[in-house]
Structure 1
Amino acid sequence: MTTLQDATGHALTGATAAALDAFEQASHELRCLTGDPAASIERALQAAPEMTMAHAFKAWVYLLGTEPEGLPVARAACEAGAALPGTERERLHLQAAGLLAHGRWHEAARALEDLSLRYPRDALALQAGHQVDFFTGDSRMLRDRIARALPAWDATLPGYHAVLGMHAFGLEETGDYAQAEAQGKRAVELQPRDSWAWHAVAHTLEMRNRPADGIAWLEPNSASWALGSFLGVHNWWHLALFHLELDHHDEVLRLYDEAIAGSGLPQVLDLIDASAMLWRLQLRGLDVGERWQPLADRWAPLVRQSLYAFNDLHAMLAFTGAGRADEQRRLLQAQDAALALGDDNAGFLREVGGAATRAVMAFGDGDYAQCVALLRPVRHRAHRFGGSHAQRDLLDLTLVEAALRAGDQALARGLCAERIAMRPASPLAHRLMRRSAAAGLTA
């Protein structure tokens, strides 16, 4: 029997024609972050239960959302795939997914790096590796993993847009904003439904403090990047962030209510955005009403274990905003238990996450000096527990506000000078500087 191949020429052990169609649909959906790739890959497995690569794909789908309930599903998919015949490429996928499913983030990243060096046209390997680089805060590999594969790609290959969009994000995270913007816009031209490419350009505009351009980029085009996209909430968050920079607070709250928190679903990536936006509003002294309570309700069942420190930080924002002392303590206990395990998340906690999570709790308790003491040692290495520059800016904003409230005028002034140097037109940066310069600061 002839072994079928995917659209970029890779053999697919155990595939049938119907399974191949469903697999390509799932691949397109995952590359664009739209639709339901989990459902599509299930159709592939129903058509061909012994399709090895479909099991590997399923594992990645359930791993890359960092959802706690995804881990057992991913582990089972890896086990099912490992019991079947497979090519070297398929085996490497299952090996890398298995490493990630057991908390070995850095080893998974290296396994995917080796896979992509051997098979540079494997878009799934590039995408999985790119996401792991994001979760581990490896900005250079966000760029270079994709750059290594670019010579093997061109516009005739399905998925080229996604490779360009990923490269754009890597360029942005390493400070090459002009090339990142151009690369991201080229990706969107090729595939207007590529949510990651829209997102990459939004990041370049955020980092260059161009909020009006960011609104012009996202607002008129939401039908392309939001409709049916599971990155939609995050891109709405970016739009709200641009409005926040311009002090459009009513619009930010509208976007929060209608688009960021509106689904009410317990999806971790969406909850991160909701927590981060409410915290930024609260740092500005704005009343967010009762919005913290339902958000804390959504976080509560997801942090019985500490699986990823970056998520823990955002759960703590919600528990602190909502005044949930029991949930705060439970989360800290989960982190203590995770430290004892010694996996990569324990490293994320030791490097950054533990201190950052406790700093948020200290801020909520009004112990601003303790918040400052916890954040200062970790702020320059915060990339080591994941996220983007835009997301980690929350730590800097919290540190500035804590310094102001603690009465540390010299530190606050220095931090504000940093911010103005990077964002000379930012109204917030100048307001913070005026506060730091005012006499008689009180905690």
Structure 2
Amino acid sequence: MEEDRYGLPLSTSSAEAAAAYREGIDLLLAFWPGATDALERAIMLDPDFALAHAARARIHAIYMQREAALQTIKRARDLIAKRGTEREQSHVATLVLTIEGRGTEALPSTLTHLASWPRDAMIMALPLGAFGLLAFSGRADHDAARRDLCDRFAADYGEDWWFMSNHGWALTEAGDVSQGRAVTERSFALRRRNAYAVHALLHAMFEAGALDQADALVNDWIGDYDRTGMLHGHICWHQALGALDRGDAAGALKVYTDVLVPTMDTAPPLNTLSDCASLLWRLMAENNPVPDGAWADVASYASPRFTGSTLAFIEMHLMMIAAATNDTAALKGRLAAIERRQAEGMLPAGRIVPHMLRALRAFAEENWRSCARELTPVIGDLARIGGSHAQREVIEDTYILALIRSGSLAKAREVLDARLHRRPSARDSRWRALAAG
């Protein structure tokens, strides 16, 4: 019987289909272009190859192609019932839950599956990363949970380039930056054409304040990464963060206009939404100009794609757009819906969400005192939003600037001192000087 790269049996009689599947999975795990073509080739070679359909459905879901994802995963489910091992049946069942958006069921299904088949990388990937099942679970400890999960299964993977890139990033996000970087660098050395490892390294460099090293890494590497790569725009977004840290607003804006503009970016919609909205918000927050119509362009991009959002991370960015464009109807509607869901106990991230949304609205209205008042009781719960620490920091930035502008200088110094102790930052040093009064 054919096997995947991790030695797990594949229910296909076609060696060529199995080879195409292995290639497609590796490209998908590396966030490298070509995964879709390889998986569709596997399906063409063996139309009854259920796991190839399941992986194709996963890519549809990443790109928020909901109907295509549901149809393709249904095809995989129907096929696997006729021809599939117990592991493959569990694999498809777990992906069904994930693709259907049933995260509270998908996470325990994933963990149960991994207890029996820890080397099933496609399933191991589901709870990992900034947009994974753990990050979007609403748990305050999801960073530590990802690290613990990787620690638990590290021996099963050994020196595997994909697993180490995830393990390294999990260590970094959980606070062990030096070890996280070392593990990620080992991964990158094994497979340079691995955008996921580069991305994880950029997070380690961000946390260490090594922004010049991050710039050098991107400049040296990104020429080999096609713009259609899932993480191309987001990797450049990291360079924009570095530019803002150095006080180079023009450099950050150039990243936006050259790479991130929604009409140019081919990234998954969640990446485009969060990268564009958060970068424009950061520019605006420090009173830097943004291009005419930029917020309207982002609003036009988001409107048809995120109508049924339920995640705190998505709500955060949609509220930035509504607040920046002074969309009164959207502001009221988003807040009303969130407050209603909170009252019904339907917000996994809890009370931080309505506080955060009200704070963003207050900041855009230059009501600094109200913004700070909303965030003060929940600022310690930011992890529950999901995403990475670098992505969540935009809310902390908003809080610090609101404190400074409202005259709460002692509190601003306290927050900045804690952050500077954790991560050196030229920008935070500038803000600390402002908070000195």
Match of residue 48 from structure 1: 46
CA deviations on 1:166-197 (whole Å, 9 max, x unpaired) are 11100101111111111111111111111111
Measure, in 1, the Cα distance between the counterparts of 2:426 and 2:7: 52
Q: Secondary structure at the match of 1:302?
A: coil
**Offset at residue 15 of structure 1 (A):** 5.2
- The answer (yes or no) to whether the contact 2:205–2:214 under 8 Å persists in 1 is yes
Contact 1:202 1:214 in 2 (8 A): yes
The letter for the 1-side match of 2:427 is L
Corresponding residue of 1:4: 2
CA contact (8 A) 2:265 2:272 kept: no
Residues 351, 60 of structure 1: alpha-carbon distance in 2 compared, 3 angstrom cutoff = farther
Is the contact between residue 233 and residue 265 of structure 2 (CA under 8 Å) also seen in structure 1? no
Q: Please tell me whether residue 325 in structure 1 is matched to residue 323 in structure 2.
A: no
2:259 and 2:265 in contact (8 A); partners too: no
User: Would you say 1:145 and 2:149 are equivalent positions?
Assistant: yes
- Give the aligned residue type for 2:320: L
2:277 to 275, 278, 290: 275
Shift of 1:334: 5.0
Distance 1:52 1:360 in 2: 45
1:429 matched residue in structure 2: 428
In 1, the alpha carbon distance for the partners of 2:340 and 2:193 equals 41
Aligned to 2:231: 231
Q: Which residue does the alignment assign to 1:353?
A: 353
Q: 1:289 aligns with which of 288, 291, 301?
A: 291
* Counterpart code for 1:179: Q
Other-structure match for 1:310: 313
Within the alignment, does 1:247 sit opposite 2:242 as a pair?
no
Report the AA paired with residue 291 of structure 2. Answer: G
* 1:214-245 deviation per Cα after TM superposition (whole angstroms, max 9, x unaligned): 21222222124555421111111111111221
Counterpart contact for 1:143–1:174, Cα < 8 Å:
yes
Distance 1:259 1:312, change over 3 A: same
How do residues 382-393 of structure 1 correspond to structure 2 at under 5 angstroms?
A: 382-393=382-393
Please tell me whether residue 408 in structure 1 is matched to residue 408 in structure 2. Answer: yes
> Which residue of structure 1 aligns with residue 69 of structure 2?
74
The answer as to 2:128 corresponding to 1:133 is no
Q: 1:364 is matched with which residue?
A: 364
Bigger Cα displacement from structure 2, 184-193 vs 15-24: 15-24
Question: Which whole-Å deviations, capped at 9, do the CAs of 1:107-166 have from their partners, x for residues lacking one?
Answer: 3222222222322222212222313233336112322222322222345xxxx2111101
Counterpart-to-counterpart distance in 2, 1:145 and 1:63: 24
**How many angstroms apart in 2 are the aligned matches of 1:15 and 1:53?**
13
Which of 59, 62, 72 pairs up with 1:61?
59
Summarize the Cα distance change of 1:36–1:106 in structure 2 as closer, same or farther, 3 Å threshold. Answer: farther
1:324-363 residue CA offsets vs partner (Å, 9 max, x unmatched): 33333343455457658866xx323x34333222321121
**Structure 1 regions of 5+ residues with no counterpart?**
439-443
Contact kept, 8 Å, 2:168 with 2:179, in 1: the verdict is yes
- Report the 3-state secondary structure (helix = DSSP H, G, I; strand = E; otherwise coil) of the residue aligned with 1:129: coil
Q: 1:102 to 1:370 in 2, by over 3 A?
A: farther
Provide the C-alpha distance between the structure 2 equivalents of 1:144 and 1:59, rounded to a whole number of angstroms: 28
Q: Specify whether residues 16 and 336 from structure 1 end up closer, same or farther in structure 2 by C-alpha distance, changes over 3 A only.
A: farther
How do 1:171-182 residues align onto structure 2 when only pairs under 5 Å count? Answer: 171-182=171-182
Q: CA offset at residue 264 of structure 1? A: 4.8
| Matched letter for residue 229 of structure 2 | S
Change in CA separation of 1:215 and 1:226 when aligned onto 2, cut-off 3 Å: farther
1:215–1:88: structure 2 CA closer, same or farther, 3 Å change rule? same
2:24 aligned to which of 23, 26, 50: 26
Alpha-carbon distance, 1:16 to partner: 2.7
Q: Which moved more, 1:184-193 or 1:312-321?
A: 312-321
Aligned equivalent of 1:107: 105
Deviates more, 1:166-175 or 1:76-85: 76-85
Shift of 1:206: 0.6
- Tell me if the contact between 2:385 and 2:392 (Cα under 8 Å) persists in the aligned partners: no
CA distance in structure 1 between the aligned counterparts of 2:108 and 2:334, rounded to whole angstroms? 30
**1:431 maps to amino acid:** R
1:277-319: CA deviation from partner (whole Å, max 9, x where unpaired): 1111112111113222211211121232123220121122122
Is 1:118 the counterpart of 2:135 in the alignment? no
CA–CA separation in structure 2 for the residues paired with 1:205 and 1:230: 21
**DSSP-derived class of the 1:411 partner:** helix
Tell me how far 1:33 sits from its aligned partner. 0.3
Distance 1:342 1:413, change over 3 A: closer
The one-letter code of the counterpart of 1:245 is D
Paired residues of 2:181 and 2:201 also in contact (CA < 8 A): yes
Q: Which runs of 5+ in 2 are unaligned?
A: none
SS in 1 for 2:10: coil
2:168 match: 168
Q: Distance in 1 between matches of 2:436 and 2:343?
A: 44
Aligned to 2:189: 189
- Selected match of 1:38 from 36, 46, 60: 36
Counterpart residue number, 1:96: 94
Q: 1:364 to 1:161 in 2, by over 3 A?
A: same
Q: Which amino acid aligns with 1:146?
A: C
CA contact (8 A) 1:304 1:334 kept: no
Tell me if the contact between 1:192 and 1:225 (Cα under 8 Å) persists in the aligned partners. Answer: no
Identify the range of structure 1 (277-286 vs 15-24) with the bigger mean alpha-carbon deviation.
15-24
Q: Give distance in 1, aligned partners of 2:414 and 2:127.
A: 37
Q: 1:152 to 1:301 in 2, by over 3 A?
A: same
Partner of 1:17: 15
**Is the Cα contact below 8 Å between 2:57 and 2:73 reproduced in 1?**
yes
Contact 1:19 1:43 in 2 (8 A): yes
Deviation at 1:75, TM superposition (A): 3.2
Paired letter, 2:71: A
